[in-house]
Amino acid sequence: MLTLLPTSRLLLLALGLPAASARAQTAAAPPAISADSIVHVAAGPQYRRGWLHQLMWGFHYRREWATPVTAPVFNLRTAVPGGLKPVKEGGSFQTHNLRLVAPDGRQYVLRSVDKDATAALPEDMRNGWIGRLMKDQTSVIHPYGAYIVPPLARAAGVYHTNPRLYYLPDDPALGEYRAAFANALYLFEERPEGDQRMVRSFGASAQVVSSKHAFTQLVASPRVHVDARHYLRSRLFDMWLGDWSRREDQWRWAAFPGPDSTTVLRAIPRDRDHAFFKFDDGVITRLVSFVKTNYQTFSRDIKLHDVEGLNRAARPMDKSLLVYLSEQDFHQVADSLRLALTDKVIADALQVWPKEVYALSGEEFQQKLQSRREQLPRVAEEFYRQLAREVEIPGTDEPERFVVEAAGPWQAWVRVYALRPDGRNGRLIGQRLFDARQTGTVSLYGLGGNDEFQLVGQPDRRLRIHIYDGQGQDVVQQLQVPPRALKTRVTIYDSGDGNLLKVGKDQVETEAYQPKANEYDGAGWLLRHRLY
């Protein structure tokens, strides 16, 4: 007897979409636990799909998700000396996290291998076709990708967490979190926060802080700064992994004492969910990738025209933290990274995968990582070019002196100093030689404090200099003005709050303006970093 299907169901089947709800697809009996506390379980059998669905919506890493792997059972009582106590549920919009605390106060986290981005949808849409499709696209993520990052990061000289794969059973010790977390695969790792002197992969820092805390310190005082070359190394490592989701919340910062009572912050990348992303291998997902250019697929080649999309999420951080590095710095760090990531390093890292996963992904990843490694120098060059086009140099909420000094045709130096109470230059915060053949505009933001901007000589007209005074009563003055000086392309944006302008009106343009919140003071600057 012929049974007619509803039109909506026929449409879903024609597009290769799942017709069953995500909840129905994921329901499965928990695996048997062997006497030696080992299970054989797949991370996401629900992502197995027919050929039509895969053709339309992507083949992705569906085989890896659907293949059972061998994993040890997690025991809250014995995972660390004294056991662990669950204290808080958390995570991003797609990862399910459980925070754990040891008797000595050290914190750990269980991060779900499976993801669910439908939490970002209204509740009534989560089990509809949109929710099912979003859940299905979890398969773009390699379920065990984060597992191979630590040995690669160690060789690269990049800080890292140390995830270990476990199966969490239906354990009464989970207490109120039992129903939400039991019977699934997790990555167990240290939580990068607070005193981490025992963790070498966090630099053995006595103080690890959040991005909000770090950036609040950076805009409050010139005595706090980021190790920019170390951060650049981390960012090039991100590109090598194809990890495009590196927004501010994906980082922690290890603090170290520096010279002259300063504090140096070094980056700790975390949350490698989007490393090794595989998205554009379906008809529809391929079309989407032309629009969502940040959805970068991990392939053999890092295409130069894709570098912008690959780094879009981290662009506000990159513009602020890499602003004093030269093109030579970029070349040196990229070359050093390329030499550190040898074929043996890559091969050894892939061996940490369960053998079932290595059989599916090992050879593919070996080839891709080797190919992408060789492209790092030209990728770094393109990365520098993109950041150099429009440059923004922020001060802090304390007084600084910004010095713009002509350096011949095309070029000008920009130096930023802490400003002492007696008016002399304090510590050099940063300096860089700009070339109008690479840089169109350099914007200087005083932010808080009574700052001083000095224009020494006559900067080349092909380089635009914009000065934003921000909060406080600032001074802008010209020094060593040559005879018969021509009009420059320096523009002062004067908020009219008592600034003193000692400049030739026929040489420097002044515009009255109302400062935007994100360029007025340190607290406002945090808006650029989505930290508010």
Domain count along the chain: 2
Asked if residue 17 belongs to a domain, the reply is no
Domain boundary among 386, 404, 433: 386
* Distance of alpha carbon 215 from alpha carbon 247, whole angstroms: 13
> For 486, which DSSP code?
P
The CB density around residue 321, as the number of other CB atoms within 10 Å, is: 21
Q: Are residues 315 and 427 in the same domain?
A: no
- Residue 25 near residue 46 (C-beta atoms within 8 A): yes
For the chain, the 3-state helix, strand and coil shares in percent, each to the nearest 5, are 35, 25, 40
* Distance of alpha carbon 150 from alpha carbon 147, whole angstroms: 7
* Distance of alpha carbon 394 from alpha carbon 220, whole angstroms: 11
Residue-level pLDDT at 22: 43
* The residue type at 394: P
Residue-level pLDDT at 482: 81
Q: Are residues 178 and 317 in the same domain?
A: yes
Asked if residue 116 belongs to a domain, the reply is yes
Q: Is 483 exposed, middle or buried (0-12, 13-18, 19+ CB in 10 A)?
A: exposed
Q: Are residues 314 and 449 in the same domain?
A: no
Q: Which are the contacts of 10, defined by CB distance < 8 A and separation ≥ 6?
A: none
Asked if residue 164 belongs to a domain, the reply is yes
Tokens 């981005």 -> residue? 117
Asked if residue 492 belongs to a domain, the reply is yes
- Residue 158 near residue 269 (C-beta atoms within 8 A): yes
The structure's pTM equals: 0.92
* The residue type at 152: L
H helix runs in 223-322, sequence order: 228-241, 283-291, 307-310, 315-321
- Residue 97 near residue 109 (C-beta atoms within 8 A): yes
Strand, coil or helix: what is 96? strand
Q: Are residues 415 and 343 in the same domain?
A: no
Residue-level pLDDT at 94: 67
Asked if residue 266 belongs to a domain, the reply is yes
Q: Are residues 354 and 236 in the same domain?
A: yes
Distance from the Cα of residue 234 to its chain's centroid = 9
Domain boundary among 386, 415, 434: 386
- Residue 108 near residue 100 (C-beta atoms within 8 A): yes
Domain of residue 479 covers: 395-527
Q: Are residues 359 and 380 in the same domain?
A: yes
- Residue 400 near residue 429 (C-beta atoms within 8 A): yes
Residue-level pLDDT at 295: 87
Domain boundary among 386, 406, 433: 386
Asked if residue 532 belongs to a domain, the reply is no
Asked if residue 517 belongs to a domain, the reply is yes
Q: Are residues 449 and 366 in the same domain?
A: no
Q: Are residues 337 and 482 in the same domain?
A: no
- Residue 491 near residue 464 (C-beta atoms within 8 A): yes
Q: Are residues 343 and 461 in the same domain?
A: no
Q: Is 4 exposed, middle or buried (0-12, 13-18, 19+ CB in 10 A)?
A: exposed
Mean pLDDT by 10 residues, the chain (532 residues): 40 47 54 79 94 93 96 94 93 80 94 83 75 88 95 98 95 94 95 94 97 96 97 98 93 95 96 92 90 89 92 95 98 98 98 95 98 98 98 96 96 97 94 97 95 94 94 92 82 90 89 88 90 77
Asked if residue 9 belongs to a domain, the reply is no
Q: Are residues 431 and 326 in the same domain?
A: no
The CB density around residue 476, as the number of other CB atoms within 10 Å, is: 24
